[in-house]
Structure 1
C-alpha cells in the first residue's frame, strides 16, 4: 500500500448528499467535512444537496446524479443507523447495480479502532451504478473523516498501489458497451 509517484494524480468529481431531517447548509458539519477533505485532496465538488430521511427522495437524487456525466462519485452522509427514519442504506441499495461488500467490512474495521463495539451500529455501504461509485456514510463528522482518510482518499487516488477505484472507472459500465 503506497503512492506510486511515477503516476499522475487524476482528480475525481464528487457529489455530497447529506441526509437529515434537521440539518441546514449552515450546520451541515458532516457535509462540510467531506467537502473539505475531497477538495483538500485535489478532487472537485460536483454537486451538493441536503435531503430529508425519505427513501424515495434519496434514491431519486442518487439516480439523478448517476445519470449526470459530470459526477463520478456520490458520497452521502446520514441515515445509516438503526432507527426507523434511517433509510439511506435502503435507498442506496435501490440504486446499486453492484454492492461493494468489502467497503462495509473495512469501514467497520476502521471504526472499531476508534469507537470500539459501537461500530456495530453503523450500516455504511458502497456500490456502483451506471459507472458511478456510491457510498453511504454515517452522519457524524468523525465517521466521515474516518471513511475519507482511511479508505476513500486512497481508493480515489490513481497513484495508490496495488490498486484503486480510479483505474477501473473506464470498465465500470463495460457491460453496457458490449451490446
Structure 2
C-alpha cells in the first residue's frame, strides 16, 4: 500500500482551487524499467493511487523495458486509441546508457512543455538538492495528449505529481490549468 496524502487540504501552489467538482482526466501510467515487475513497481503504484485519489481515472498502467521502440509503441497505442488525455511515465530519465525515455518520446512531441522541466527541478531541488541535475524530466504534447516523463524514484514521482502535475490537471485550479486547454490542443 502506498501513502496517498489528502491533497485536498493543501493550498494550490501558485494559484487557488475554486469550489466545484473536478473534471476527471483519463491518465495512463507507464513504468519504464528493465528490473521492475508488477510486484516491485512502487513508483507506478504511487502514481496510480494518487491519480485515483485526485478524482481522475487511471486508464491504464503498464511496464515496458528501457527500449526506445517499446516506449514509443506503448504511448502511441494509447494515444491512437483515444482512451487517454494524459500519459505519465516513470523511469528512464537519468544519465545512464539504458535511460532512454527522453530519446523515445521527445521526437514525438508536437510541442514541448519547457516550463515543466524547470519547475520539476525547482521542486526536486527542495527535496534532493543538487542531485536533481541527474534527471532529464521532460513533458510535451503528442497528438493532443499531455505526456509527462518523471524519474523512476518514488520521491521524484511524489514531487512531480504532488507539486506540479496534480494541480495542472485539476480543472478547478486557477488562474489556469491544462484541463481547460484540452479541447483546443489540436486546433490549427
TM bucket, shorter chain: over 0.9
Partner of 2:16: 2
Q: Deviations over 1:89-143 (max 9, x none)?
A: 1111122111100000000000000100001110000000111000110000110
Once residues 86 and 174 of structure 1 are traced to their aligned partners in structure 2, the CA distance between those partners, rounded to angstroms, is: 33
> What is the RMSD computed on CA atoms of the aligned residues?
0.8
Give the deviation of 1:8 after TM superposition.
3.4
Once residues 3 and 82 of structure 1 are traced to their aligned partners in structure 2, the CA distance between those partners, rounded to angstroms, is: 37
Give the deviation of 1:146 after TM superposition.
0.6
1:151 is paired with a residue of what secondary structure?
Answer: helix
Q: Does structure 1 conserve the Cα–Cα contact (< 8 Å) formed by 2:93 and 2:151?
A: yes
Q: Deviations over 1:13-43 (max 9, x none)?
A: 0000000001000110000000011001010
Partner of 2:116: 103
TM-score for the superposition, normalised by structure 2:
0.91
Q: Does structure 2 conserve the Cα–Cα contact (< 8 Å) formed by 1:59 and 1:94?
A: no
Q: Does structure 1 conserve the Cα–Cα contact (< 8 Å) formed by 2:16 and 2:173?
A: yes
Q: Does structure 2 conserve the Cα–Cα contact (< 8 Å) formed by 1:53 and 1:87?
A: yes
Q: Does 1:152 align with 2:176?
A: no
Task: Name which of 93, 97, 108 aligns with 2:106.
Answer: 93
- Listed as ranges, the gaps of 5+ residues in structure 2 are 1-14
Partner of 2:129: 116
TM-score for the superposition, normalised by structure 1:
0.95
1:48 is paired with a residue of what secondary structure?
Answer: strand
Partner of 1:139: 152
Q: Does structure 1 conserve the Cα–Cα contact (< 8 Å) formed by 2:48 and 2:61?
A: no
2:38 is paired with a residue of what secondary structure?
Answer: coil
- Listed as ranges, the gaps of 5+ residues in structure 1 are none
- Paired positions, count: 174
1:174 is paired with a residue of what secondary structure?
Answer: coil
Q: Does structure 2 conserve the Cα–Cα contact (< 8 Å) formed by 1:62 and 1:95?
A: no
Runs of 4+ with deviation above 4 angstroms:
none
